[in-house]
Amino acid sequence: MDSVLDAIRRRYACRSFAADPVPPELLQKVVEAGLRAPSGRDRQPWRIIAVTNPERVAELETAGLEALRQLDPKGHADIVARGGRLLYGAPVVLLVARLDLPGKGTEIDTGVVVAHLLLAATELGLATCPNRMLGKLFQTDQGPDFERRLGFPEGFEYGLGILLGYAAEAPRQPHQPDFSKFIEIA
């Protein structure tokens, strides 16, 4: 089995997924890794919502693209240039919803969850891509309705999406570490 360090080296943002479904037992392991993330005061200010139904994923894709077109024309143009698929054909979309507690840093807590999810999925041979762009959907008039139908509890908002599945192509090289961004004070 791969170590965490191997998964860290291999993880990359996949932008082309195969249609093959994610086996439920793998999804369960990925989600469990997310739920094991540490959080300030152990608040666990998150929900992880797995969207696995192809029709629901397609609906998110269509509505998300339209939201992007309205609210972020440049982002929309980037997606069109990449083939027009906001979710890159991923069979599963994990939505990490965040409890908005001003001043408590819950964005950081949910970021740690995201890291756990990405690395666990990589270790299990799955491909991933974080997705902020889908968040535009929740800023439109349709946002509250989507939040309700997706089971966001009261007070929770979109933190980040993670696209999950098997890569359709050979893995791409992730960005390489830039050690000029590291400072050691002896």
Q: How far apart (Å, rounded) are the C-alpha atoms in residues 176 and 150? A: 36
> Candidates 35-43, 98-106, 124-132, 151-159 — which segment interacts with ligand FMN by CB under 6 A?
124-132
x/- track of binding to ligand FMN for residues 14-33 (CB under 6 A): -x------------------
Q: How far apart (Å, rounded) are the C-alpha atoms in residues 133 and 61? A: 11
Among 13, 35, 80, 168, binds ligand FMN (CB under 6 A): 13
CB of 128 to ligand FMN, least distance (A): 9
- Under the criterion CB under 6 A, does residue 122 sit at the interface with ligand FMN? no
Half-sphere CA count of 22, side-chain side, radius 13 A: 32
CB of 100 to ligand FMN, least distance (A): 17
Q: Quick one: tokens of 102? A: 């001003």
Cα-to-chain-centroid distance, residue 108: 14
Under a CB-based contact definition with an 8 Å cutoff, are residues 160 and 130 in contact? yes
Q: Quick one: tokens of 61? A: 């894709």
x/- track of binding to ligand FMN for residues 143-172 (CB under 6 A): -----------------x------------
Among 95, 99, 124, 129, binds ligand FMN (CB under 6 A): 129
